[in-house]
Structure 1
């Protein structure tokens, strides 16, 4: 019989890459991890890890067992949620991974609503994460709910054994100074902005790829004047006359007076969703957090 606790250690090693990192993630010592992995190998009857230099790596048998372990951990999470759903009281801690704009615009009103209804019984722990970080963290069981976005120009894959709850669909606007020659237009053709300087998201963000694709479909490559993570900072730089930018509606709720938001003639839209591991919505605390996030989103923007 394979020990589930030891399977968790093997899974943690596959995720974090080193015995030390796996031990830190599970709050145990490195020698304990090594000892338990050796015991798991005896239970399995095959070699699960091998040493490469100073690191332990998974053998083919170890990789196969980790894949099965992921299914086991998903089922355990679902079982815990089902059992929690049988309790009358709504209570528990819910870990939410949210990208910056969602953490600023959706999470606070959801938390205020939860506090008004349940006081301290429902504890929301927030981790600021881009979807590229939050979806793997959800799969690993490090968070319970991931707030993610996906542009219609570039759909996002969701990990297996997860389910998607769409919260809102928002339009992406061109942010430009009020004195821009195109400011009087009701809609803007991106091709007309080919000679402008651009405020761009950082290059490793999906928002950067969205901007590149939108401009590329209009026939030009944007000339960046600045790179930054925060859409609020981008709007401030637009207000300063540094360039133009593409800003989703959720991030554009508060822009400086010197900035205009113009729809594009060829619209780009972004869908914001909550992603959960399958059946964890049965957990009462997770369910009410999802409900309050949906209420805070307000649908289309």
Structure 2
């Protein structure tokens, strides 16, 4: 009989890739992880992992076992949610992972409403994570709700073993200094064609981000490579630089709600957006407290 605790550990290893990262994720020591994996291999009678450099890679048998494990974990999560749903009390701690601009807007509004209507029965445990890291947390069982996004011009992969609920389409806009000629009254019709920005200096996100790929694709489709003068890890820094200089930037509108006063936002053509949505494990949305949080997130998105 395979032990569920060890199967969960193998599932985390499949995501994290190293014993050290796995140990940190499940809050046990590295030697304990290695010991549990070795015991699981003895129970199954097959090699489940192999070392490649500093990382561990699942063997074909390991990948097969993880695929079955995720089905079992999803079924258990759905069973737990159904059992809780039989009760009449709406209560519990809901763990939410969200990217920073959603945390400061959608989650902040939801938290305020929950405190007014459901405190202290429903409590939120919040973590700021980008979508990829949030999805990993969801698959490990460390999050109940993940707020994620996908750019139309740079969509990311999405596993089929999660439930997705749309929140809003967040338009991508052009950020310029308030005194920029593009923002002069009646200087030109709106929206601004991206092709006319080929000779401008550009501020772009970090090269590893999905937003950077969106900017790259948008500019390439308009026939040019952006002349980058700065790369920023945070939208707040990018908007501050827009306000300070002559450069322009493409940013999702939700990330601009707390922009400097001397930054103007202009629509672009061709128009594009990032789609924001929630992710839960199968059956997770049936948990009463999770369902209430999802409803409030949808209301907050509608208000935005």
The TM-score normalised by the length of structure 2 is: 0.90
For residues 211-222 of structure 1, the aligned pairs below 5 Å read 211-222=215-226
Instruction: Give the match's secondary structure for 1:106.
Output: helix
2:222 is the alignment partner of 1:210:
no
Note if contact 1:100-1:230 (Cα within 8 Å) is conserved in structure 2. no
For residues 60-71 of structure 1, the aligned pairs below 5 Å read 60-71=60-71
* Worse-matched range after superposition: 79-88 or 99-108: 79-88
For residues 1-301 of structure 1, the aligned pairs below 5 Å read 1-50=1-50, 57-183=57-183, 184-185=187-188, 186-298=190-302
Structure 2: how far apart are the matches of 1:104 and 1:211?
A: 23
1:282 positional shift: 0.5
Where has structure 1 moved over 4 Å in runs of 4 or more? Answer: 50-57
The count of corresponding residues between Structure 1 and Structure 2 is 300
Gaps of 5+ in 2: none
1:111 positional shift: 0.4
Note if contact 1:225-1:242 (Cα within 8 Å) is conserved in structure 2. no
Instruction: Give the match's secondary structure for 2:199.
Output: coil
Residues 156-207 of structure 1: CA distance to partner in whole angstroms, max 9, x if unpaired? 3321211111111122111112222222333211111111111111111101
Gaps of 5+ in 1: none
The CA RMSD measured in Å over matched residues stands at 2.1
Residues 40-98 of structure 1: CA distance to partner in whole angstroms, max 9, x if unpaired? 23332333345668876533322221221121111111111111111211112222111
Change (3 A) 1:3 1:248: same
Change (3 A) 1:27 1:247: closer
Note if contact 2:235-2:255 (Cα within 8 Å) is conserved in structure 1. yes
